[in-house]
Amino acid sequence: MSDTLTEQKPKSVKPPKQKKPASLWSDAWYDLRRSKVFIIAAVMIAVLVVMSIIPGLFSSVNAFDPTTCDLTKARQGVSAAHIFGTDNQGCDTYSRVIYGARISIMVGVFSTLVTTLIGGLLGLLAGFYGRWTDTILSRVAEIFFAIPSTLGALLILALVGRENAGIWTVVVALSVLAWPMVLRIMRAAVMSAKSQDYVLAARALGAGPGRLMGRHILPNALAPVIVVATMNMGVFIAAEAALSFLGVGIQSPDISWGLMIADARNRFLQAPEALLFPALFLSLTVLAFVMLGDAVRDALDPKLR
């Protein structure tokens, strides 16, 4: 037998698959675009975002304009002029629901941003350096973690007082209590990425901590944090509504779904629409983010790969 066939260069061996994107991120994106759940959630969120930026697009009535509130028209039912009816002050419920999206989305986005950045960074450091860095950061996180978040936020906001309460205090109150969860998830993901052979190989090449974290560990530890951040967005929006409902969150004249539900609760039996419409929008918003998180998790899950 001839031995000329030893050690041959395997030429373009990959079969011509259907156009498949290369990197794992674009792979995940490719999967996402094929997920029905993702499409539905994304459309819902897109509508909400547009709603919060340009509410005028959806509502011909300016909810901030006091002239649109007409006390003589207070507590009206559903009609052609006011499709969701009017509230105690005679304001159009529909336009208030539309304008209410802004605060919800802002609280969701900013709380998520703050918690992900703080929790993510500290989690990266705790997971990478371990030892006393980890001990200190994890213990601090555990202290915050032990406080039930809604109760804790209620307490913080009660201390701040109604007169100072607003969107930023709500964001701070929610973030203070929620970053430890992100830290925990990031820390666990970093620790598992850190023990991979490619990190060892990079160390053997002489890579420093910055390169190890930035090039090798972070990109491989990000997936679970992204999933949690997406889902947290919905959780924060729900929490804001709860706090506003309880009177410690967003204050009038700012418009918040939670506040609207609170205003409408006493005459629910007479005028259920005043409560049901903001509640419906709130539920759909939270649902959209949870669905998005689910779809993202499915796309990023390496086990399916």
Q: Using CB atoms within 10 A of its CB, is residue 14 exposed (0-12), middle (13-18) or buried (19+)?
A: exposed
Q: Could you give the angle at which helices 149-160 and 218-245 cross, rounded to 10 degrees?
A: 60
Q: How far is the CB of 8 from other proteins (least distance, A)?
A: 4
User: Judged by CB, which is closer to other proteins: 72, or 132?
Assistant: 132
Token pair 């729900």: residue = 238
CA 92 centroid distance within chain: 29
Binding flag, residue 81, other proteins (CB under 8 A): no
User: Judged by CB, which is closer to other proteins: 214, or 253?
Assistant: 214
User: Judged by CB, which is closer to other proteins: 8, or 67?
Assistant: 8
Tokens representing 54 are 């340009």
Intra-chain end-to-end CA distance of the chain, in Å: 41
CA 158 centroid distance within chain: 24
User: Judged by CB, which is closer to other proteins: 31, or 87?
Assistant: 31
Interface pattern 193-222 for other proteins (x via CB under 8 A): ---xxx-xxxxxxxx---x---xx--xx--
Q: How far is the CB of 196 from other proteins (least distance, A)?
A: 5
Rounded Cα gap, residues 220 and 44, in angstroms = 29
User: Judged by CB, which is closer to other proteins: 72, or 195?
Assistant: 195
3-state secondary structure of 120: helix
Tokens representing 291 are 């669905």
Question: Which residues in 3-62 contact other proteins (CB under 8 A)?
Answer: 3, 5-15, 17, 22-25
Q: How far is the CB of 205 from other proteins (least distance, A)?
A: 5
Contact residues toward other proteins (CB under 8 A) are 1-3, 5-15, 17, 22-25, 196-198, 200-207, 211, 215-216, 219-220, 304-305
